[in-house]
Chain A
């Protein structure tokens, strides 16, 4: 009896000692007091105009968490590098983040052409660097053979197009559908999604980026106005292009000719209004989202994030859907770090998200789908209509969420109910 208890005592003590030993020496970006995270995204240039708010929003949330104890006693430091939406620059900046800044993990990398090159160039797979919550809807990033350490968060453009097809077929039966999309991975992902969703398009226009000028928009709209009835016009472009097309429609008095559907990338109402689109034009525009609207102060996440934005973000940054999205990703990141435990390793972070990620708290109104076999985050959308103040309200009054995949899977109505937010927006998971 005595020997057994002595042995178990030794084992117990040994286990205790070993479990508190911080095996951090080998893990880059992690010290006793700090976790370094990196993001490469456009801050300047034409893309910087649309996406420049993301790093600031994430940093604001991280600062909030740091002020409230950090993660397992460590503060989060976000290192942001500008890649101007250029693949060569994204490759070098991401490599810099890994080799120079020695970050622990990447968060919120932005853009398909940019990040696909950066992923390979910075040897993220080889170094097992977690690539969390990338800011792009390109379905390819969910492919674990190509991107073994990447976790998507945004529903893919293909998913969006599929769900949009179902919505259009149900609500606008009999009307012709025309698509105006950017001629790159995001527009083409959309085209494929419409095909998978079984929607026949009366007209598809793919325009090279930055080529949709006012003149072009007017010419396009004139052509499309020849379609009889009240065609559905789907705009799969960035916000500046969406605004341009809407303004051209105003000029040609064609606003009421079409039913307008704005894709998620270009559908941020606040930005559209700021770019000069009339409030009367905005009213009734259909848009898809998987978040509550950034203006919906009755939503607990929106009001909490607004407070954080006010207190911790750079002065003067208006709270909009981009900021909401950024903070949400930051919140998911914090939960991932917490779930990985005090003994923080890259492999540990990845498996933590795989096993616990689906249950992370977040503002999303659709479920997260992380598992041992899936790197896909949100996988659904709800449809709404914009009102005169630019707020997105559920179509027909009731919130109807649909989920699907990026391939040929079915589109299903979702009964997901978002769990209550952790108190004050500070995660308590582990």
Chain B
């Protein structure tokens, strides 16, 4: 077992309500490991593209076999 700190950028679709945001983020984080501590730490709005992006900082519990996936996928 190891812990990994990651920074993740996600698109927040306009049709997704704030009431559904937490499960949405968890569903994305779980791909990289088991979320231990996370928060949205920044948001950007691109009005010309009708797009909002959220930035997550998180510490995940990662099994060794998932390490490669994380390194490949994260910015």
Do A and B come from the same complex? no
Listed in ascending order, the chain A residues whose CB lies under 8 Å from chain B are: none
B-side residues, CB < 8 A to A, are none
